Amino acid sequence: QLQLQESGPGLVKPSETLSLTCTVSRGSISTSNYYWGWIRQPPGKGLEWIGSVYYSGSTYYNPSLKSRVTISVDTSKNQFSLNLSSVTAADTAVYFCARDFVRGVMAYLDYWGQGTLVTVSS
Amino acid sequence: SSELTQDPAVSVALGQKVRITCQGDSLRNYFASWYQQKPGQAPVLVIFSKNNRPSGIPDRFSGSTSRDTASLTIAGAQAEDEADYYCYSRDSSGDHVVFGGGTKLTVL
């Protein structure tokens, strides 16, 4: 079945850019009707949707993070990526990637990566 | 604050039925999906598109919606159901998605 795996630095300095990649295996990222999303969870807190990208490159972002977020896709590598700029300690969280179905009245995330902890600290 | 509101904590006796709710105006127009998350693990989809279960999810899990409230019901809660539960749906604009704040379920 489909597998997703996050990768990237576990430590980022304040004011720098957090960059993560999600590699999709056992399935194609170029699948109709599915976006590919990023979700984060600060230690001890709830889930927050960051944004999602379609294989065509179309994106939609959480309005509260939109000014700092870029999500892109590389279909040749079956990967999608997250860049979050100007990070602060408040961006310390476990970051998950997931397959995101959003169509009509439905929205759900059916496959998830295991998550990766990113700490913002000097 | 989230546009989807959940009770922070709910408890249930072993083997009893429990309902976890998620309230938000967008739920009048959009279905919620539900996720179970155990400590140190990624969330797992348990209900989608109002009342559909992914393969491998026990049939004691069910979903429903009434007006602006979506519910996740566990009929006969088991010890392994103790976890955090999150709802997820489009927001009131319909242009984005949002999680509820989460409910910690304790099985007594």
Q: Do the chains contact at B86 and A47, CB–CB below 8 Å?
A: yes
> What pLDDT sits at residue A42?
98
Whole-Å CA distances, A63 to A37, A38, A60, B1, B5: 15, 14, 9, 13, 19
Distance from CA of B87 to the nearest CA of A (A): 10
Output the average pLDDT for chain A.
96
Compute the distance between CA of residue B44 and CA of residue A111 in angstroms, rounded to an integer.
Answer: 8
Nearest Cα neighbor of A78 from A8, A4, A1 is A4
Across the interface, of B31, B44, B95, the residue whose CB is closest to A60 is B95
Residue B8 has pLDDT above 80, yes or no: yes
Nearest Cα neighbor of A68 from A18, A6, A118, A119 is A18
**Nearest residue in A to B43, CA atom:** A112
Question: What are B64-86's pLDDT values in tens digits?
Answer: 999 999 999 999 999 999 999 99
Contacts of B88 in chain A (CB under 8 A): 47, 49, 107-109
> What pLDDT sits at residue B100?
96
**Nearest residue in B to A41, CA atom:** B42
Give the phi and the psi of residue B93 in degrees, each rounded to 5: -80, -20
Q: Do the chains contact at B95 and A108, CB–CB below 8 Å?
A: no
Compute the distance between CA of residue A106 and CA of residue B51 in angstroms, rounded to an integer.
Answer: 11
Question: What are A84-115's pLDDT values in tens digits?
Answer: 999 999 999 999 999 999 888 889 999 999 99
Compute the distance between CA of residue B25 and CA of residue A96 in angstroms, rounded to an integer.
Answer: 27
Question: What are B15-65's pLDDT values in tens digits?
Answer: 999 999 999 999 999 999 999 999 999 999 999 997 999 999 999 999 999
Amino acid at residue number B46: V
Compute the distance between CA of residue A11 and CA of residue A120 in angstroms, rounded to an integer.
Answer: 6
